[in-house]
Chains A and B, each alone.
Chain A
Amino acid sequence: MDIVQMLVVLTVLVLLVKPLGTYVYHVFSNEQNRLDRVFGGSERFILKLIGVHKREGMGWKQYALSFMATNLILVAFSYVILRLQNALPLNPNGMGSMEEALTFNTVISFITNTNLQHYSGESALSYFSQMAVIMMMMFTSAATGFSIAIAFVRGITSKGKTLGNFFEDFVKAHTRIFLPFSFIITLVLVALQVPQTLDPTLTVKTLEGTMQQIAIGPVASLESIKHLGTNGGGFFGVNSAHPFENPSPLTNVIQLLSMWALPAALPYTFGLFAKNKKQGWVVFSAMMCLFLVFLSVAYTSEKIGNPAMSALGIDASQGSMEGKEVRFGIAQSALFTTVTTAATTGTVNNMHDTLTPLGGLVPLGEMMLNVVFGGKGVGLINMLMYAILAVFICGLMVGRTPEFLGRKIEPREMKLIAVAILAHPFIILVPTAISFMTELGYGAITNAGFHGISQVLYEFTSSAANNGSGFEGLADNTPFWNISTGLVMLFGRYISMIAMLAVAGSLMRKPTVPETIGTLRTDNKLFGALLIGTVLLIGALTFLPVIVLGPIAEFLTLR
């Protein structure tokens, strides 16, 4: 039954890839199509309003500058609102102003699509903040990521001088993808009993006769974009494990698919841009293979459960249910965990801190790789970066200087990619090591020993991969953690984005080399396997020593 549940979701996902990927392609191909009649008018109006009259293409520098400037303005706006939320309307529960370091962390967290939450929504945010800051940034950060991915794909697949117009892409991502999709999903979730209201927290008398506060609010609307935009920041502290956020297995599946479908469809969109659908499927398959391995580990590990519990004579036949919701069970929890960290959403329907050691290794590993589908756009960019690396190493073995999609990979691209591949381990391992050198850091650990290492490692990995899920055990709302994770999220997002845009800008200007029988093919099974190999050799081996000290040591010593 468990397997069937997972297979159904996987099948639906695979079926969604083609139509969705085609739709996304038509949104960004900038060719005339029927969608223009539906959305064209409002887009023209918005673009005129913000002063974009001619949708001129941009070089990579201008594109990067545009998206950075846009994000900066949104950050400033959001910071002010969170600090002043006590004085702003729509605050029926009378929330106070948010503290500086936490505001810094929260704003960075949402603009970077991370949604690491060092606060609990129900006790720290007004409804206005939830909507104007949290939800707004959930849209904009996802749209930013999407635009960058599309710009990158345009750069490596087309021959021209521009990556497209950021503002046009950014607006279209909203009007044609995130707004309509989340509108529909909101309605579906409301129909499935997720609250959507501006009423204050309910105070009710329970059966026992005591008074209880029940937090509600505009949950459904946040819930839809939370997943669609692979954001993951919950309305409530416990996120999608909360019965109001995710009341039933059906909403669970909807949430799974809505966070997973767009990242999974992007490789197909890439294939369309590259005018080689097989190329898109190869990238998709590489991602899917890695995903299936991770899912199997998570599921089996949780199903086997905790040997220490069995040793106590507790019936562990249903697996390790600690920290999981009974309404989801092992399969839906394992699947959710694997998807949320694959798509770097960071929403959780079970507490990752209580996963079995190897089960906990799965989300950690996926975030370390950050290529198994990956967050809005970023996953595809990262996977293509590994594809370029694979081409670079293997391309030489066919006796030619390496080329990807007909373009030569030369020192300039390798330098930029070096920056990107260095950044990820650097911003995970260095802060982790620092945390273990200061009381400010390791003081937050609530579970000493190997698990403590996992807790700290998870926090920074989640930040660096812009995932945002937490190994919730860490007492992380302190200036040290707020500032350190804030910086990690910032670097994790922008360094690789800018570096990869520069790669796209550089590849775009190169003459294309025609494909012959002597060219390394990147659209067949062999290359798919090489791609996986490269990801594992370069991406995974880096983290092996810490993984050994964290989850693997915990696994080996748990008897």
Chain B
Amino acid sequence: MNRNKTNTALSATALKQAVRESFIKLNPAVMIKNPVMFVVEAGTVIVLLMVIFPGLFQSQDTMGFNIAVFLILLFTLLFANFAEAIAEGRGKAQASSLKKSKQDMNANKLIGEFIAVVSSTELRKGDVVIVSQGEMIPGDGEVIAGLASVDESAITGESAPVIKEAGGDFSSVTGGTRVVSDQIKVRMTSEPGQSFIDRMIALVEGAKRQKTPNEIALNTLLISLTIIFLIVVVTLAPIAGYLGIELEVPILIALLVCLIPTTIGGLLSAIGIAGMDRVTQFNVLAMSGKAVEAAGDINTMILDKTGTITFGNRMASELVPVIGSSIEAFSEWAAISSLMDETPEGRSVLEWMKKQGMSYDAGLAAGGALVAFKAETRMSGMDLADGRRVRKGAVDAVRKWVVAQGGTIPPDLEQISNTIATLGGTPLAVAVDNRLFGVIYLKDTVKPGMKERFDQLREMGIKTIMCTGDNPLTAATIAREAGVDDFIAEAKPEDKIAVIRREQAEGKMVAMTGDGTNDAPALAQADVGLAMNSGTIAAKEAANMVDLDSDPSKIIEVVAIGKQLLMTRGALTTFSIANDIAKYFAIIPAMFMLAIPEMGALNMMKLGSPLSAILSALIFNAIIIPLLIPLAIRGVAYKPMSASKLLSRNVFIYGLGGVIAPFVGIKLIDFAVHLWI
């Protein structure tokens, strides 16, 4: 999860940029979008006016105090702006590198029989272009003829080129990527300005960032808390006035700013932007913040077996000798037959034996000649220097070959190969001349660590469903081995949609991954659809996330990022609200202590003087924002565990911590501030 390619330490230019942004964002027209901070800004302006025109408010006596309040309030605003700017900055850096690949370029547009050189911005959907070695692909499109290797590092960061060819699931190309070999004919599938890379730039820049429903709901809560405290503070003046206590405006503003949830108000948008950014850093492109949040809510995850849960290629998992043979003899010949076999299956035999600690005499093969696999013979092997011929291949092919040489067929061969087949494996027989030694059990292997991940998912309350085209028996074997909760065997694309609909009808949120065009409807139906970048345009259009590395198992991490985003929001909200208790105990006694000396009893923190108490609370309120920026951007630590445990842990850290931290913080600040007043 921490695959941060960019250095987390911020560069000096990024910092400078963020500082500049913090001042630009002081513009009230921008600030009004964040009502909590807008109230702070209004307060700041009032205090500033009191500093400039002291006569207007009859407040000359406390000039120094007013200036201090003004400065702290200003810094509160700047800190909040800074948090947002820093979060946005990370996206912007990425966007600017993307923009480089989006420069205007010339395209070889095919008009009838002729090729016209036009600007890439003039290309429309449906136009056909020819792209040759060394040229940039001018826009998103589909390969309609030819085969080429394409360098997609501009988007994926992956330097190895990928093969794109007409037809099939590897036909889509992205504008701004470079053809490194051969030539392809591409039909444009997007209008200029709406290509994948354009959307990507908009997304990472945060320009198109819309508030998610949860953010809006939380904002509503924060605004109502702000209004409540506004009422509290505004009504306090006349009520205290009845007792003959004159409350100075800056003190009331200080109280207001301390009580309203400035901490979360200042960090809320940074949390959202950073959450999206974490997904992007992870090389997954989420089309909206809503999709990331939805990932946190996932109840059911539908995963393709091949490529996601298993490696997809068959590997040796057992060597079964037939009657009349021994494991030693069989393994020796199995190794010899695979020695020069460069197929993954062949290599896996040697790897498996190495892992089992089995040895063989490589000398036997010296001087031997490779017999390559042919579709007609369905066997491969080696002709040894001493004339013996070693063969490995499909069971019936090998059997025929042995019989043809007058050999006998071991009685248990049929049974062994059937057992392997019913378990979903592939049996490969190994023979030397007219003698059959045994059967290699090839099977699809579960990727390491998958079981643990599914256990974690289960702990998070997420059900996993494996989708496979295999027969039910094979599916059950892999499902058990991988530890998924459920599986669909012999699955057709329609089945996936049916499962998604069934789960959704029960109110569950479903996530799935897919790459092929036939996955598109299911990707669209799912609440979180993660398409592979290597997949078809249709799949990418239908999904709400695209994985640039085309690693389907990443969906699991995406869920964790979604949860982390929501948790960070909740934790900082709790922290912010819990802070109010200490701030009350700092400011309330300070406000009334001069008029009612007995109020000193409420000064539990034993703060130096009323003015220093108010300033300390205000300073704490301001500096807590930059102190929490790293947490807001990184997200709170998330380990998969049940909701109850997670809640107790977070309530303890951010709830209880939120109550205690300001008591300590304000007291410490007061030590310093009290030296001055």
Contact = CB atoms under 8 A, between A and B. Distances in A.
Interface of A: 389, 392-402, 406, 409-411, 413-415, 418, 421-422, 425-426, 429-430, 432-434, 436-437, 442, 449-450, 452-453, 511-514, 516-521, 524, 526, 530, 533, 537-538, 541-546, 548-549, 552-553, 556-557
A400 B507 contact: no
B213 A437 contact: no
Contact of A452 (B236, B242, B564, B580): B242
5 closest Cβ pairs, A-B complex: A518-B461, A396-B570, A399-B563, A516-B461, A433-B235
A395 B238 contact: no
A393 B574 contact: yes
B566 A396 contact: yes
Nearest to B240: A549
Contacts of B213: 401, 410-411
B408 interface: no
A521 B238 contact: no
B362 interface: no
B224 A418 contact: yes
Given A393-B573, A548-B592, A537 B297 contact: no
A397 B647 contact: yes
Nearest to B585: A544
Contact of A518 (B221, B259, B460, B648): B460
Contact of A526 (B227, B239, B647): B647
B220 A418 contact: yes
B253 to A, nearest CB: 14
Contact of B570 (A397, A437, A545): A397
A24 B293 CA distance: 40
B598 A511 contact: no
Contact of A513 (B507, B573, B574, B580): B507
Contacts, number: 202
Contacts of A533: 655
A546 B242 CA distance: 12
Contacts of B243: 449-450, 453, 549, 553
B64 to A, nearest CB: 25
B231 A430 contact: yes
8 contacts: A396-B570, A397-B567, A418-B223, A422-B228, A429-B231, A449-B243, A556-B596, A557-B596
B216 interface: yes
Most chain A CB neighbours (cut-off 10 Å) among B220, B293, B650, B654: B220
A263 to B, nearest CB: 26
A230 B638 CA distance: 48
B239 A397 contact: no
A514 to B, nearest CB: 6
Contacts of A526: 644, 647-648, 651
Contacts of A530: 651
Contacts of B296: 399-401
B443 to A, nearest CB: 32
| Interface bracket on B | 35 or more
A219 B120 CA distance: 92
A436 B238 contact: yes
B119 interface: no
B604 interface: no
Contact of A398 (B236, B567, B577): B567
Contacts of B563: 399-400
A400 B239 contact: no
A517 B655 contact: no
Most chain B CB neighbours (cut-off 10 Å) among A389, A395, A429: A429
A472 B460 CA distance: 56
A396 B255 CA distance: 28
A409 B299 contact: no
Contact of A538 (B225, B234, B642): B225
B239 to A, nearest CB: 5
B297 A400 contact: yes
Chain B at the A interface: SS class? helix
A433 B232 CA distance: 10
A399 B239 contact: no
Nearest to B224: A418
Contact of B234 (A414, A433, A442, A511): A433
B376 interface: no
B240 A537 contact: no
Interface in B560-597: 562-564, 566-567, 569-571, 573-574, 577-578, 580-581, 584, 588, 592, 596
B566 A544 contact: no
B453 interface: no
Nearest to A433: B235
Contacts of A549: 236, 239-240, 243, 592
A557 B598 contact: yes
B231 A426 contact: yes
Given A410-B214, A450-B243, A530-B651, 11 more contacts: A394-B570, A398-B650, A409-B217, A414-B221, A429-B232, A436-B238, A516-B462, A537-B577, A546-B236, A553-B596, A557-B596
Contacts of A556: 596, 598-599, 601-602
Contact of A520 (B240, B573, B580, B643): B643
Given A520-B647, A524-B644, A537 B462 contact: no
A425 B231 contact: yes
A231 B463 CA distance: 51
B158 interface: no
Nearest to A534: B577
A397 B217 contact: no
A453 B293 CA distance: 48
A365 to B, nearest CB: 15
B216 to A, nearest CB: 4
B349 to A, nearest CB: 42
A548 B602 contact: yes
A437 B233 CA distance: 15
B459 interface: yes
A450 to B, nearest CB: 7
A389 B584 CA distance: 22
Interface string B633-677: 000001000111011101100110000000000000000000000
B574 A397 contact: yes
A429 B654 CA distance: 31
B588 A548 contact: yes
A514 B507 contact: yes
Contacts of A411: 213, 216-217, 220
Contacts of A426: 231
A406 B508 CA distance: 11
B342 interface: no
Given A548-B599, A557-B596, A437 B231 contact: no
A338 to B, nearest CB: 24
A425 B228 contact: yes
A16 to B, nearest CB: 32
A542 B509 CA distance: 38
